[in-house]
Amino acid sequence: MNFELTDEQKEVKNAAREFAEKEFSRELALECEEQGRFPHGLWKKAADLGFIGINIPEEYGGQGMGLLEKVLVLEEFFRADPSLGFIYITTFGSELILNNGTEEQKKKYITPIARGEAMMGMAVTEPEHGSDILKLDTVAVKDGDEWVINGTKTFISNGPVADWLVVVCQTDPEAKPPYRGQSMFIVETNCDGFEAVELKGKMGMHLIKTSELYFNDVRVPAENLLGEENKGFYQLLGMLNETRTGLAARCIGIAQGALERSVRYARQRKQFGRPIIEFQAIQHKLAEMATKVEAARLLTYQAAWFFDQGKPDPMLTSMAKYYASRTAVEVSNDAIQVHGGYGYFAEYDVERCFRNARIAEITEGTSEIQKNTIASMLKKRIR
Ligand SMILES: Cc1cc2nc3c(=O)[nH]c(=O)nc-3n(C[C@H](O)[C@H](O)[C@H](O)COP(=O)(O)OP(=O)(O)OC[C@H]3O[C@@H](n4cnc5c(N)ncnc54)[C@H](O)[C@@H]3O)c2cc1C
């Protein structure tokens, strides 16, 4: 396969780069990081220019492009700034509605997301179920024309600020295996019995509110069932090919940004009478960083390309997610080393690169879970 981007894709990448370089300022990033504040103005601007809904179909307010185009935008956003790139996370879970929703659900819940008029999130994780989501403790029980939800979700991104959430519940606790008894619901967060409590003290991702969610007899109308009853687990797996590739894109952006900052710094920082870039130890570190970034980029583009051809490959997606997140952590860590003591301070962006990269090895399936997926596919594919 040849990864020459099409002219249109190059234009998308250039436009995202131009926008991010102009609008993503370090001052804004540091202010939002310090205050735990989401940059609403920047998000709205990005949405108005079509970046937030880049791969949402045009009939629902998006640009109708593919996952690869979304990858290019995410890469450029996170390259420009490892914190402000998170403005895109307002769409998390929209994939589930697009893939499984009715026409009414898509019109009602996707259009405002593409336009930057609403935020959403997706809630699977529970206090007792993180990697193991084969059975869930949050239950939804049918009562006439409504479903009644009870339970607790944790670590949910956007929880306190989302206008609606896709919530995965156990609808048939007796199902064997239990994952065949899970369903998804769209929950509007202004309903009775719903509470979101922000979890403080995160290492990174300070712009995004992460929360514990409480569902206490939350009633949702029957039409808010998303997709098929008891098929929620399979619908979730379908989404992961897309969102894990997006997460890998975020990682190559952070890593590329850390690499570029390191090359620039190494060129201007002098020790022993010469720029540190003249030391071979520094050159080799930069060479290793650049090689990892390029390898992660190719894996990620390839995973997105297969997805856009209608042939998503879970093994490739897991490889991209696992390798790109490791690369972002290693390259950001090396970038701190190249910057010496200055790299340890917030003023130099590489510290933020590291803190915001680290989460990618945990969310949407930890690196260990990605390796489990890769290994199980290897067992099937190599006889
Ligand atoms: C900042 C943040 C934002 C998040 N946002 C969301 C969100 O929006 N929505 C949502 O639903 N969730 C979200 N999560 C939850 C995230 O997806 C989980 O944290 C993740 O799936 C891991 O679950 P856990 O934390 O319970 O760890 P555990 O599952 O308890 O894992 C602990 C360790 O054991 C390892 N382990 C577990 N099982 C295996 C196995 N079978 N083989 C090998 N190793 C294994 C793990 O890899 C890990 O190293 C978020 C988490 C964080 C920290």
Whether 96 and 145 share a structural domain = no
CA nearest ligand 1 atom 43, residue: 368
Mean pLDDT of the chain: 97
* CATH number of the domain to which 93 belongs: 1.10.540.10
Q: How many CA atoms lie within 13 A of 141 on its CB side?
A: 9
**∠ CA 210-237-58, rounded to 5°:** 80
What tokens does 209 get? 């509110």
Whether residue 106 contacts residue 60, with contact meaning beta carbons closer than 8 Å, is answered with yes
Same domain, 252 and 268: yes
- Give yes or no: residues 264 and 372 share one domain: yes
Does residue 247 share a domain with residue 167?
A: no
**∠ CA 29-297-121, rounded to 5°:** 50
Cβ-Cβ contacts under 8 Å for 68 (sequence gap 6 or more): 5, 9, 301, 304, 305, 307, 308
Angle between helices 67-80 and 232-268 (to 10 degrees): 40
pLDDT at 306 over 90: yes
Q: Which amino acid is it at 327?
A: T
d(CA 102, CA 224): 10
pLDDT grade, residue 146 (50/70/90)? very high
Last residue of a domain, one of 81, 96, 114: 114
What are the tens digits of pLDDT across the range 159-192? 999 999 999 999 999 999 999 999 999 999 999 9
Distance from the CA of 322 to the center of ligand 1, in angstroms? 14
Q: What is the mean pLDDT of residues 339-364?
A: 96
pLDDT at 3: 73
Owning domain of residue 13: 7-114
Q: Tell which atom from ligand 1 comes closest to the C-alpha of 158.
A: 8
Element (H, E) at 157: strand 146-157
Q: Which CATH number goes with the domain that contains 374?
A: 1.20.140.10
User: Rounded mean pLDDT of 263-291?
Assistant: 98
Gap from CA of 362 to ligand 1 centroid (Å): 6
> Could you tell me if the CB of 124 is within 6 A of ligand 1?
yes
| Location of structure tokens 């509110």 | 209
Is 100 touching ligand 1 by the criterion CB < 6 Å? no
For residue 173, being part of any structural domain is answered with yes
* Active site annotation includes 364: yes
Q: Is the pLDDT of residue 289 over 90?
A: yes
How would residue 2 be classed by pLDDT, with cut points 50, 70 and 90? low
Ligand 1 nearest atom to the CA of residue 208, by list position: 1
Judgement on whether residues 127 and 107 belong to the same structural domain of the protein:
no
Catalytic choice (33, 212, 351, 364): 364
> Do 139 and 101 lie in a common domain?
no
Per-residue pLDDT at 35: 94
Residue 24 lies in a domain: yes
Phi-psi region of 7 (alpha: psi -120 to 50; beta: other; left: phi over 0): alpha
Count of structural domains, the chain: 3
Alpha carbons 206 and 43: distance in angstroms, whole number: 15
Q: What is the mean pLDDT of residues 138-165?
A: 98
Whether 30 is covered by a domain: the verdict is: yes
In 3D, which of 28, 86, 325 has the Cα closest to residue 202? 86
pLDDT at 1 exceeding the cut of 70: no
Co-location of 320 and 208 in the same domain: no
For the segment 56-110, what is each residue's pLDDT rounded down to a tens digit?
999 999 999 999 999 999 999 999 999 999 999 999 999 999 999 999 999 999 9
Radius of gyration of the chain (CA): 21
When pLDDT is averaged across residues 333-350 and rounded to a whole number, the result is 95
Number of other CB atoms surrounding residue 334 within 10 Å: 23
363, 367, 372, 374: which to mutate for ligand 1, most atoms within 8 A of CB? 363
How many whole angstroms separate alpha carbon 278 and alpha carbon 62? 47
Please check whether residue 1 lies inside any domain of the structure.
Answer: no
Of all protein residues, whose CA lies closest to atom 30 belonging to ligand 1? 130
Task: Give the contacts of 287 (CB within 8 A, at least 6 positions apart).
Answer: none
What average pLDDT does range 126-134 have in this prediction? 98
CA distance 199 to 151: 17
- Which pLDDT score is estimated for 348? 87
Shared-domain flag, residues 153 and 192: yes
Q: Which of 170, 201, 230 is the last residue of a domain?
A: 230
Interval 352-368 mean pLDDT: 98
CB 226 within 8 A of CB 186: yes
Q: Does residue 188 sit within a domain? A: yes
157 Cβ closer than 6 Å to some ligand 1 atom: yes
For residue 223 the two structure tokens come to 């039409």
239 and 225 both lie in a single domain: no
Same domain? For 242 and 355 the reply is: yes
Q: Are residues 200 and 261 in the same domain?
A: no
pLDDT band for 347, please (50, 70, 90 cuts). Answer: confident
Provide the pLDDT confidence category of residue 154 given band limits of 50, 70 and 90: very high
How many CA atoms within 13 Å lie on the side-chain side of 69? 21
User: What's the pLDDT band for 220 if we cut at 50, 70, 90?
Assistant: very high
273: exposed, middle or buried (C-beta count within 10 Å: 0-12, 13-18, 19+)? exposed
> Does any domain span residue 2?
no
Report percent pLDDT > 70 for the chain: 99
Say which CATH number the domain at 192 has: 2.40.110.10
Please report, for the chain, how many H helices and E strands are present, in that order: 11, 10
- Reported in sequence order, the residue ranges of 189-290 that DSSP labels E, i.e. its strands, are 194-198, 210-221, 225-226, 270-271, 274-275
CB neighbourhood size of 338 (10 A): 24
Element (H, E) at 152: strand 146-157
Q: Which of 129, 362, 376 to mutate to test the pocket of ligand 1 (most atoms within 8 A of CB)?
A: 362
- Sign (positive/negative) of CA torsion 265, 266, 272, 273? negative
**Residue 246: closest CA among 98, 58, 59, 54:** 54
* Count of residues making up the chain: 383
Answer with the one of 211, 230, 249 that is the final residue of a domain. Answer: 230
Cβ–ligand 1 contact at 155 (below 6 Å):
yes
308-320 tens-digit pLDDT: 999 999 999 999 9
From 122, 131, 199, the mutation candidate for ligand 1 (largest count of ligand atoms within 8 A of CB) is 131
Amino acid 128: pLDDT: 98
46 located within any domain: yes
Decide if 153 is inside a domain: yes
Looking at the fold, whether 182 and 286 belong to one and the same domain comes out as no
Q: What is the pLDDT of residue 346?
A: 86
